[in-house]
């Protein structure tokens, strides 16, 4: 089919649009005649309005693209600034952790030096007391021999009587030997030590002969866990279970220290399960410092204490930020456990065994009976093993 010409042959007053090929009357155009229309390109009004609309839309899109590029540039600058701040905070945190490790090492070294000094003092005091007795006997014999009868009297009773009076008079003298009296240096040292220490401390029982106790302290989850522990150990007075609802780990360890103070001479096992409130209350930043401080106080109270800290349970329904805080807190706890040499009990392993869907009640924080039973049996087994095994409980029951 041949294309239509620009101007019709029937009605000479029409012009064809070059865009849509529609025929328009000459009155709809700016041309005075068809001949003028053939000399210049023609675009109808609908096509012209469409083109203008596309032009406006293109300008708006270009302006929007420039605006989005500006927002993207600002976001990039803000992200770079935030990354720089995070790097500085990370560096500062590593420096504080290193300082904490050095402080703990210096404290342990000071304790070792103190123990060595006490041991040396005991070694000096014990031989000095023995030398004092031997020196006193030699001094008595010397006085008895030097004051024998000048006329040759050899009566045994008379000689022994003189020696006894000399010894009695020597015992009534001052502990500090006078110059030229012939006293031994060991006697002078023993006299000075006995004079400076008016009372000798009582002997501490041997390590294997000490009584044993287990202190279990935790947050509100300890309510159900403690029932399981008591069901295993019964009414044994050596096992103490305490709960502090809503308290952070620093307060929980302080409560454990108060209970440890009552029987500090015993061999003790302290189990702490109170770390979840630090994360839930947004105090996860000072988590490691609180535990390090509590460890120092517990070991200062009793020299023979074993400490076990439970990990933070992976709570549910609390948001992504809490889940990340739990992971960070547990990582710090494992690192601190290796540094300060205390036991870390992984509760999340029991959580997996109990089933994540059945581990917590509706709030996603408190233990269900199923998880409490798993955790309680594990802590009870740890306590029974520390107290000597199941045979000790059977003997006590009999």
pLDDT score of 376 = 94
Is the alpha carbon torsion for 189, 192, 194, 196 positive or negative?
Answer: negative
Instruction: Give the CA count within 13 Å in the CB-facing half-sphere of 375.
Output: 34
Query: Are residues 270 and 307 in contact, defined by beta-carbon separation less than 8 angstroms?
Result: yes
- Supply the DSSP string of 330-398, one letter for each residue: HHHHHHHHHHHT-EEE-HHHHHHHH-GGGSB-TTSSSBPHHHHHHHHHHHHHHHHHHTT-HHHHHHHH-
pLDDT band at 17 (very low <50, low <70, confident <90, very high): confident
DSSP state at residue 27: G
pLDDT score of 14 = 80
**Average pLDDT over every residue of 231-237:** 88
pLDDT tens digits for 337-380? Answer: 999 999 999 999 999 998 988 999 999 999 999 999 999 999 99
Q: Is pLDDT above 90 for 241?
A: yes
Token output for 113: 């030096």
What is the b/e burial string over 257-287, where b = at least 16 CB atoms within 10 angstroms of the residue's CB?
Answer: bebbeebeebbbbbbbbbbbbbbbeebbeeb
pLDDT score of 148 = 43
Run of H or E residues at 215: strand 212-218
Query: Are residues 252 and 217 in contact, defined by beta-carbon separation less than 8 angstroms?
Result: yes
pLDDT tens digits for 304-327? Answer: 999 999 999 999 988 888 889 999
pLDDT tens digits for 98-141? Answer: 888 888 888 888 888 888 887 788 777 765 555 555 556 565 55
pLDDT score of 5 = 41
pLDDT tens digits for 184-213? Answer: 444 443 443 344 444 444 444 454 556 899
Using CA atoms, how far residue 376 sits from 217, 297, 309, 365, 379, in Å, is 12, 26, 14, 17, 5
**Which of 273, 278, 275 is closest to 225 using CA atoms?**
273
The fold of 211-397 is Rossmann fold (3.40.50)
The CA distance from 91 to 335, in Å, is 17
- Supply the DSSP string of 30-81, one letter for each residue: S-SSHHHHHHS----HHHHHHHHHHHHHHHHHHHHHHHHHHHHHHHHHHHHH
Query: 226-229, long-range: CB within 8 Å, 24+ apart, which pairs?
Result: 226/376, 227/372, 227/376, 228/372, 228/373, 228/375, 228/376, 228/377, 228/380, 229/376, 229/379, 229/380, 229/383
**Which of 330, 328, 361, 369 is closest to 347 using CA atoms?**
330
Residue 306, strand partner residues: 269
pLDDT score of 166 = 44
Q: Is pLDDT above 50 for 330?
A: yes
Helix (H, G, I), strand (E, B) or coil at 175: coil
pLDDT tens digits for 247-289? Answer: 999 999 999 999 999 888 889 999 999 888 888 887 656 788 8
Alpha helices in 263-319 (DSSP H): 276-280, 287-301
Task: Give span(s): CATH 3.40.50.1110, the chain.
Answer: 211-397
Q: Is pLDDT above 90 for 222?
A: yes
Query: Are residues 248 and 277 in contact, defined by beta-carbon separation less than 8 angstroms?
Result: yes
Which range of 93-97, 112-116, 298-302 scores highest in mean pLDDT? It is 298-302
């Amino acid at each position: 089919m041949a294309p239509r010409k620009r101007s019709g042959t029937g009605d000479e007053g029409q012009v064809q649009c070059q865009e849509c090929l529609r025929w328009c009357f000459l009155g709809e155009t700016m041309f005075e005649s068809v001949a003028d229309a053939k000399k210049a390109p023609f675009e109808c009004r609908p096509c012209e309005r469409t083109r203008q609309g596309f032009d406006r839309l293109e300008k708006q899109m270009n302006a929007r693209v420039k605006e989005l590029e500006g927002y993207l540039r600002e976001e990039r600058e803000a992200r770079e600034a935030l990354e720089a701040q995070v790097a500085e905070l990370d560096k500062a945190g590593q420096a504080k952790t290193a300082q904490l490790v050095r402080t703990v090492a210096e404290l342990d070294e000071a304790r070792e030096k103190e123990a060595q000094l006490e041991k040396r003092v005991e070694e000096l005091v014990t031989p000095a007391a023995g030398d004092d007795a031997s020196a006193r006997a030699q001094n008595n014999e010397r006085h008895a021999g030097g004051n024998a009868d000048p006329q040759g009297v050899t009566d045994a009773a008379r000689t022994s009587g003189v020696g006894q009076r000399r010894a009695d008079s020597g015992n009534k003298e001052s502990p500090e030997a006078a110059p030229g009296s012939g006293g031994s240096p060991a006697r002078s040292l023993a006299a000075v030590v006995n004079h400076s220490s008016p009372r000798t401390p009582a002997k501490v029982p041997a390590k294997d002969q000490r009584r044993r106790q287990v202190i279990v302290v935790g947050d509100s989850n300890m309510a159900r866990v403690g029932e399981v522990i008591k069901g295993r150990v019964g009414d044994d007075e050596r096992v103490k279970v305490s709960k502090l609802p809503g308290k952070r780990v620093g307060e929980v360890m302080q409560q454990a220290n108060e209970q440890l103070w009552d029987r500090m001479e015993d061999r003790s096992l302290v189990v702490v399960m109170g770390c979840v409130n630090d994360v839930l209350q947004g105090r996860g930043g000072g988590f490691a410092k609180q535990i390090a401080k509590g460890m120092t106080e517990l070991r200062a109270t009793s020299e023979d204490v074993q400490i076990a800290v439970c990990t933070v349970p992976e709570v549910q329904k609390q948001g992504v930020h809490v889940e990340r805080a739990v992971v960070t807190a547990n990582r710090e706890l494992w690192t601190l456990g290796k540094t300060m040499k205390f036991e870390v009990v992984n509760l999340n392993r029991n959580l997996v065994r109990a089933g994540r869907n059945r581990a917590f009640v509706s709030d996603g924080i408190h233990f269900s009976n199923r998880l409490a039973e798993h955790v309680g049996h594990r802590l009870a087994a740890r306590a029974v093993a520390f107290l000597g095994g199941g045979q000790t409980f059977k003997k006590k029951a009999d």
